[in-house]
Amino acid sequence: MVPLLLLLSSLHSVELCSRTPSVPMPNPATCSASCPNALLPVPGTFLLDTPSTTPGGCSVRTLLCTNGPITGGNPRITYNGGPGFVSAPSSVTLTVTCNAAGTAWTYMGIAITSVSCP
């Protein structure tokens, strides 16, 4: 009888609890709309340096290279002095995004400080 009484008394306390509404957590900022272009100087060998803003408010720059290496082959954009690069047939683009702090242009999470289009 005592266990049944304890069970009933615990059920009563459950009924007194009320749900609190959930509070949505804000997503952390992953980019910014305010990176100075001077953080990533782009040499004149690039065909295009297009600044834009994504629907989420991120500042981006799209760099276009159509020059192939001196030895022939596909155009390539080398960043941070190499060995990192992107390459594609006939033309290649590199899209960099302003980081959340507004202090660097990034590609795949890596701060890009220099680019070249041979």
Instruction: Read off the pTM.
Output: 0.71
Per-residue model confidence as pLDDT tens for the chain (118 residues): 555 444 445 544 445 555 666 666 666 678 999 999 999 999 988 988 999 999 989 999 999 998 876 667 889 999 999 988 999 888 999 999 999 999 999 999 999 999 999 7
Question: What pLDDT was estimated at residue 73?
Answer: 80
pLDDT at 26: 60
Q: Are 118 and 70 in contact, with CB atoms under 8 Å apart?
A: yes
* 24-47 burial: b if 16+ Cβ within 10 Å, else e: eeeeeeebbeebeeebbebeeebe
Residue 53: Cβ within 10 Å count: 12
| Tokens linked to 47 | 């065909």
- Calpha distance 40→85 (Å, rounded): 16
